[in-house]
Amino acid sequence: MFKKTKLKNGLRVISVPMKNANSVTVLVLVGTGSKYETKDINGISHFLEHMFFKGTKKRPTTLKISETLDMIGGQYNAFTSKETTGFWAKVDTKHTDVALDWISDMFLNAKFETEEIDREKGVVIEELNMYLDTPTSYVSELFEDLLYKDQPAGWRIVGEKENIMAFDRDKVVNYYKTHYSNENTVICIAGNINTKQIAKKIEKYFGASKNQQALPKLEVKELQEKPEILLHNKKTDQTHFCLGVRAYDMFDKRRHALTLMSVILGGNMSSRLFISVRERNGLGYYVHTSVDTTTDTGYLVTQSGIKNNSLEKAIGLVLDEYRDLKNKKITARELKKAKDYIRGSMSLSLDSTDAQASFYANQEVMGKELLTPEEKMKMIDKVSIHDIKKVAEDIFKNGKLNLSVIGQFNEKDKDRLLQLLKI
């Protein structure tokens, strides 16, 4: 079970004791990301994440920061998403104080030096180039670009090269001051801990954090009346595509039925689309269906990499399954299998302290009700065959269909592909 407390300065702390664990994970999660940016500074949330690792007064260089945990075999990293930015350290239980000292120092005392900012621009641009050269990643970005167009939800998390090159210390520090606040920050520590002792330690390391007001994000606008396609012409050995529909945000009660539906469609190797696209037709190596939900947006999408001459057939196979869910009820066996799959995969993933920290911190920073895994599973268990059918009828409509493609296609192919997008 977990324990939630609040420091005098407003920082929320979640402690998750795991008696038999050999490790401890400290996660600092901030409620800001690329959805909080304006066009001129798109990418700065991610860039700022990098800058926290560039030096503090106590650890003045990247080397000093990295070797602190390297010397004890610790694991550490950071990440930026549309709505959150996180920093974490995972260490042997006996090094808990080292992790707390390290992550608090980096998070509270980063110097953001101009020289380091200028040097890091090249690193981040190469990270962007890596994503652009990786179709399995880039096609997902194109799908969100198609859904949300020219607004924060549709922009790249890593940003554009022109913006990255224009970042300076004033922009970095200003974003830090206006988007990092005790009020939108959660510290979660999971592992072999004593909750009373750990509360005092966190007060010691994070108690000096000063509160400041964080700016809100803009509301996402969604407008779509007919199927839409985004094609990216690139010479590739296989065609990559994302085909999906707009759905629900993370607070919508129908999200659990949506999650189960995604498992049935393409969540594992015995799912409908894995069998249809890969096993029966041999069109590609990977195919999977997933759900993305944020505080104000959501979608279900099927992604695959297939033979270059098989896009039309693959689209047809995916739409056949979407259509089948809309027109027919799933079987009781399928529903039970999907629920058991979620229960099993959740249980396996939450064996680790870093997964436990992420599970609780994400709920808290997003403003959701703080549930245990078992409480979450009980909500999923309540989903019925009828619930799945109702969701399918609601989301599988022509006016919600979107297709992004990377391959040897151009605008002249769009009309032909649009004719296929019918449910």
Closest CA to 413 of 222, 225, 241, 155: 241
Instruction: Look at residue 254 in the predicted model and tell me its pLDDT.
Output: 98
Inside any domain, residue 221: no
Are the C-beta atoms of residues 245 and 402 closer than 8 Å to each other?
Answer: yes
Same domain? For 137 and 51 the reply is yes
**Is 216 a member of any domain?**
no
197 lies in the same domain as 234: no
Residue range 71-128, pLDDT digits in tens: 999 999 999 999 999 999 999 999 999 999 999 999 999 999 999 999 999 999 999 9
Which residue type, as a one-letter code, is found at position 44?
A: I
pLDDT band at 49 (very low <50, low <70, confident <90, very high): very high
Residue 209 has pLDDT above 90, yes or no: no
Q: Please, are residues 284 and 305 in contact by the beta-carbon 8 Å criterion? A: yes
State the CB neighbour count (10 A cutoff) for residue 298: 22
| Residues designated as active site | 49
259 shares a domain with 191: no
Tell me the three state secondary structure of residue 420.
Answer: coil
Query: Are residues 139 and 250 part of one domain?
Result: no
Same domain, yes or no: 377 and 324: yes
Q: Where are the beta strands (DSSP E) in 220-283?
A: 228-233, 239-246
State residue 180's pLDDT score.
97
345-396 pLDDT, tens digit per residue, is: 999 999 999 999 999 999 999 999 999 999 999 999 999 999 999 999 999 9
Q: Which helix (H) or strand (E) holds 412?
A: none
Residue 214 within a domain: no
pTM comes to 0.96
Same domain, yes or no: 133 and 234: no
pLDDT of 159 over the 90 cut: yes
Domain range holding 387?
Answer: 228-418
191 lies in the same domain as 240:
no
User: For the domain that residue 77 is a member of, what is the CATH number?
Assistant: 3.30.830.10
Q: Is residue 262 in a domain?
A: yes
Structure-block tokens of residue 112 = 């953001």
Q: Which of 145, 173, 206 is the last residue of a domain?
A: 206
Tell which of 143, 174, 206 closes a domain. Answer: 206
Residues 185 and 260 in one domain: no
The verdict on 243 and 362 lying in the same domain is: yes
Residues 237 and 385 in one domain: yes
What pLDDT score does 162 carry?
97
Token pair of 251 as six digits: 């607070």
238 and 358 inside one domain:
yes
Per-residue pLDDT reduced to its tens digit, 238-266: 999 999 999 999 999 999 999 999 999 99
Strands 228-233 and 75-80: unpaired
pLDDT of 211 higher than 90: no
Domain co-membership, 192 together with 302: no
Return the closest-CA partner of residue 32 out of 45, 43, 20, 21: 45
Among the residue ranges 199-213, 250-264, 401-415, the one predicted with the least confidence is 199-213
Strand 12-17 with 3-6, pairing: antiparallel
**Domain for residue 233, yes or no?**
yes
Domain for residue 67, yes or no? yes
What gap in Å lies between CA 88 and CA 349, rounded to an integer?
Answer: 17
Instruction: Give the integer Cα–Cα distance in Å for 83 and 215.
Output: 13
Mean pLDDT score across all residues of the chain: 97
Q: Is residue 212 part of a domain?
A: no
Q: How confident is the model at residue 196 (pLDDT cuts 50, 70, 90)?
A: confident
Q: Is residue 218 part of a domain?
A: no
Considering the chain, what percentage of its residues have pLDDT values greater than 70?
100
Q: What share of the chain is helix, strand, coil (3-state, %, to 5)?
A: 50, 20, 30
pLDDT in the model for residue 377: 97
Task: Say how many domains are in the chain.
Answer: 2
Structure tokens, 361: 């911190």
Packing angle of the helix pair 255-266, 332-349 (nearest 10 deg): 100
- The span from the CA of 132 to the CA of 154, in Å, is 16
